[in-house]
Amino acid sequence: MLENKIEYDKVLNPAQLEAVMTLEGPVLVIAGAGSGKTRTLVYRVARLVEVGVAPENILLLTFTRKAAGEMLERAAGLADERCRRVSGGTFHSLAYRVLRSHAGLLGFHDSFTILDRSDMEEVVYSLARDMQVQRRSIRFPKRSTLTNILSKSANLQTGTEEVLRLEYPQFLEYTQEIGRLASLYKGFKRDNQLMDYDDLLIFFRQLLTENTEIRKRLGVQYRYIMVDEYQDTNAIQADIVKWMAEDHHNVMVVGDDSQSIYSFRGANYRNMFEFPGLFPEVKTIKLEENYRSTQPILTLTNALMEQALESYTKCLFTKRSGGEMPRVIDTGTEPEQALFICRSIQDLKKKGQSIRDIAVLFRAAYHSFELEMELNRQGIPYVKYGGFKFLESAHIKDLLSHLRVVVNRDDAISWGRVLRLIKNIGQSKSQSIIDWMKEERCHSWQIDQWPGLGKGDGGLGKLAELLKALSAEKLKPEQAVRLVLDYYEPILMEKYDDFPRRYRELEQLISMASRYKGIRSFLDDLIMEPPNSPSELKGYPKRDSLTLSTVHSAKGLEWASVFIIWVMDGFFPPARAHSNRESLEEERRLMYVATTRAKDHLFLCYPSQEAPRSWSNTDYDHALSSHGFAPSSFIQALPGQVVEYCSYRTGMREPVEKWLAKGQEKMPEKGARSYKGLRPGDKVRHPAFGHGVVSKFLDKEKVEVLFRNFGRKLLHLGYTTLEKV
């Protein structure tokens, strides 16, 4: 029956083996970084299938769908193909699957639309605008902050005042308005058949709590439940686990309290310690042996975590002996840091290290901007994970909105987007059309019958034609995308200067769409599992390139890293000074995740002389003295680990001075017509951004360049080299 015979005791250590062989009853696995957590889960799936459990009865909940897919793939390689039929995914995707067929029980149509982050921002902000809040001593929070507040209050299941009090005290004077906004938002979602990511979980839980039959049915369907990254679940997700395993108690949760880095979205690693309370007969297993890093790296990590305010459950050790000391480098400024990193990479490369095995990790996506420029300049290929979302770029959203209004006629946000693309239709006209549509309850393609139609509104007719075509039955998703693209093309051409790139990306949507049966499932899948970049659509590039990643994205990735650089900056503005402590603790755990991904070499870089961009009068030391800490305080707190000090005054002297000399070239005066022989209209090439055209000089230091690949991009000439072509 089984294709391959697995000798579990030969490939697993005793703790792992116990976790794999305990199939019945609740199990809590506390798994340190690099302790073979994934391996354990993979073997357990294989084992379950081996003893005859139907794959359909196994549920593997992970943090990303990609992670689930990879695990099942590995399990299939170990045992047999049936492992691929195991149900795997995120809490959100499971919730989505269930809600799609049972939304009626909650007073929703089954055709509700899912709001992604930026949709949510748009809804929230348009409601806030309608409220006409009066300006007080400080500005009303901006759209993304407002959305964060609402989302967090949903995830933490507290009122918005609580969130404000704890995390945004600067906005306390708007407590009333934000509270009202929260309820307006809730009502708006109901009226328009919308659910955001948080709602998926909340409504799923509600369904489980209120509906015994569904609960029982899911219990029968998923007799064996495994949850990965349990420390990153929030209270709602913990409830979901509890309800789903209510009858059979066959649930294994795996996690690591010191790797909890999602508290900003309401995750609570204490769920791990509360798990035994839910299932008293739980068996707890600790995985403490590390298979990834050398002992010196683990020693640094352990020292780091010893300083934590909370004590954690385990201590990492390894049987690997030897290894070089981790290096802590003060790189002075950001451009020097970039130079230093590139030089280190080149050195390793000369020693025969493949850059495929090298990764650079950082907290925020923008931390690598400077480095990316330098990498491009030096011709080092890289792949970046995290940060910018392909789907959130305006042209993609524009196109998809047309499909969304066809699928869900009540989706006012997408209507607004679609309508405002038409010439002579802006904020107010689009609003009155939407209101009229709501009154009339007519078909979407009858939009051109709007009574307010004026002379210049021929665009509505074209839109109506498109919508009519899109409403045709049995229209395949790829045909639908094609139709919209044909309609949208002239608009796109007018709206963006880098039309060709955007058009190409949109064409890729056609091939993506062809993998789906219906428009609805295509749209939802894009939201539930958004691809990060166009390159990701084609599958990850496997060529020989460096990995750049935010720590959060790195968590889900498996690569043979031997070398990790953590670029630090971590500066928190005064408004958040009160919660520095908590931020500090989260940053510490972030650093734990980052450092434990290093196998043999670990470089921790921090640019101590970098003045945070937005606080031009302050610098790093100032941050330290006025707010109690700067990231370097982590490092200073690790005695004996700082084995190298490097700045432009020492090892970096030569290249940095060259760089500095470039930066000191005379800048053009305000309103200058040319600089370095460049004039507006000249074609230029930038090492990072590619080809573009100089549009104008803004002031002494900035020039506006239209890049073919990036749209408008402002550059500091002191930092970069524009090459005339």
Which member of 26, 323, 386, 416 binds DNA (CB under 7 A)? 386
Among 1, 52, 134, 135, binds DNA (CB under 7 A): 135
What is the DSSP track for 77-95? HHS-GGGGGSEEE-HHHHH
From residue 558, give the alpha-carbon distance in Å to each of 11, 247, 329, 386, 553: 19, 35, 26, 14, 11
Instruction: Break the chain down into helix, strand, coil percent, rounded to 5.
Output: 50, 15, 35
273 binds DNA (CB under 7 A): no
Write down the H helix ranges in 496-605.
Answer: 499-513, 519-528, 534-537, 551-554, 580-595
If binding is defined by CB under 7 A, does position 366 make contact with DNA?
Answer: yes
How do strand 87-89 and strand 58-61 relate by DSSP bridges?
parallel
x/- contact string, 83-112, with DNA (CB under 7 A)?
-------xxxx-------------------
| Total residues at interface with DNA (CB under 7 A) | 57
Among 8, 125, 317, 390, binds DNA (CB under 7 A): 125
Per-position x/- string for 516-555, each x denoting binding to DNA as judged by CB under 7 A, each - no binding: ------------x-x-------------------x-xx--
List the structure tokens of 500. 């060709």
Exactly one of 84, 109, 136, 139 binds DNA (CB under 7 A); that residue is 139
SS3 403: helix
Tell me if 564 sits within 8 A of 602, measured CB to CB: yes
Q: Residue 554: CB partners within 8 Å, gap ≥ 6?
A: 359, 361, 385, 386, 593, 594, 597
Is 175 one of the binding residues for DNA (CB under 7 A)? no
Q: Among residues 90 and 259, whose Cβ is nearest to DNA?
A: 90
148 counts as binding DNA under rule CB under 7 A: yes
Compare residues 164 and 261 and give the one whose CB is closer to DNA.
261
Place of tokens 């802590």: 328
CB-nearer residue toward DNA: 171 or 648 = 171
Q: How far apart are CA 362 and CA 369, in angstroms?
A: 11
Q: Which of 117, 404, 501, 588 binds DNA (CB under 7 A)?
A: 117
Provide DSSP, 24-45. Answer: SS-EEEEE-TTSSHHHHHHHHH
Separation between Cα atoms, residue 348 and residue 598, nearest integer Å: 15
Is residue 618 a contact residue for DNA (CB under 7 A)? no
Q: Does 169 bind DNA (CB under 7 A)?
A: no
Is 181 an interacting residue with respect to DNA (CB under 7 A)? no
Least CB distance from residue 530 to DNA, whole Å? 6
226: β partners:
60, 252
CA dist., res. 228 & res. 208, Å (int): 21
User: How far is 510 from 507, CA to CA, in rounded Å?
Assistant: 5
**Rg, C-alpha atoms of the chain:** 27
Instruction: Read off the DSSP letter of residue 289.
Output: B
Q: Is 627 in the site for DNA (CB under 7 A)?
A: no
Cα–Cα dist 253/244, whole Å: 13
Q: Which residue has the tokens 């200067």?
A: 497
Residues 193-232 that bind DNA (CB under 7 A): 197
Q: Does 430 bind DNA (CB under 7 A)?
A: yes
x-or-dash string of contact with DNA, 573-612, rule CB under 7 A: x-xx--x---x-----------------------------
Which residue, 486 or 494, is less far from DNA as judged by CB? 494
Binding positions for DNA, 392-421, rule CB under 7 A: 420
Please report whether residue 490 would count as binding DNA according to CB under 7 A.
Answer: no
* 16 lies in the binding site for DNA (CB under 7 A): no
The reply on whether position 496 binds DNA by CB under 7 A is: no
In the complex, what is the shortest distance from the CB of residue 64 to DNA, in angstroms, rounded to a whole number? 4
Closest CA relative to residue 554, chosen from 689, 367, 709: 367
Applying CB under 7 A, the residues found at the interface with DNA are: 63-64, 90-93, 117, 125, 129, 135, 138-139, 142-145, 148, 151, 167, 197, 261-262, 264-265, 363-366, 369, 386-387, 420, 423-430, 528, 530, 550, 552-553, 556, 572-573, 575-576, 579, 583, 614, 712-714, 716
